Amino acid sequence: MPRIDSEKFYTSAIEMHGTSAKGVNWASKGNQQLRFDMLLQLLPQDLSSSTVADAGCGFGDLYTFMTKKKRTPKKYIGIDSLIDMYSIASAQTGCEIIQAEICKDVIPKADYYVCSGALNILSEFETHLFIQNCYKSSKKAFVFNALFGEQSSQIYNYLTKEKIDKIAKDLKVKEVTYHQGYLEHDITIRFLR
């Protein structure tokens, strides 16, 4: 059972803040970009021959960020379950954007899967399914960030290293890399194939 209604969660943010970082429920544009930086640190410097799929792409802000940093992949695929995100990301990026439920739909293969923030409101079971589908659909690695710690919340989903390590073990991940300390209660992880 979902933790909260994600459509209401994001639709109300878009209505209140428009197509901004706060419109996808980030505390600030700075926090969003810091998380994007952490993702890029765990990807190869040269992505010009790689396909990158962005799971829970929102408005496609990661693609815009990658372009500004001169880290544009050969092909970017955005994936989001919400029609508003699909429409806005399609218009803003000009890239292939797919409307899909990552926890249950078949998603395209890509060299790298990335995810920034989409795990934050999922249940523990949904988180496992989401990570599993992204990892299995990646050819080289899945890089994602999550809320981190022992906190309990009615809205937000926090992961611990024990939970992450268990998922990695279940998926037979070749190598796990952690980046933390850049923001309180946040962690970025790479599952290498």
Please identify every stretch of the chain with a pLDDT value under 70, giving residue numbers as ranges: 1-28, 153
Nearest to 102 by CA among 121, 81, 124, 116: 81
Q: Are 48 and 70 in contact (CB under 8 A)?
A: no
Q: Give, for 65, the enclosing helix (H) or strand (E).
A: helix 61-68
46 assigned to some structural domain: yes
The tally of domains found in the chain comes to 1
The DSSP result for 119-187, as a single string, is TTT--HHHHHHHHHHHHHHEEEEEEEEEEESS---SS--EE-HHHHHHHHHHHT-SEEEEEESSSTTEE
CATH number at residue 128: 3.40.50.150
Query: Residue 169: which domain range?
Result: 35-192
* The pLDDT of residue 1: 43
Does any domain span residue 182? yes
Q: Which amino acid is at 45?
A: Q
Q: Is 64 inside any structural domain? A: yes
Residue 184: the pLDDT is 87
Question: Among residues 94, 86, 169, 95, which one has the least CA distance to residue 131?
Answer: 169
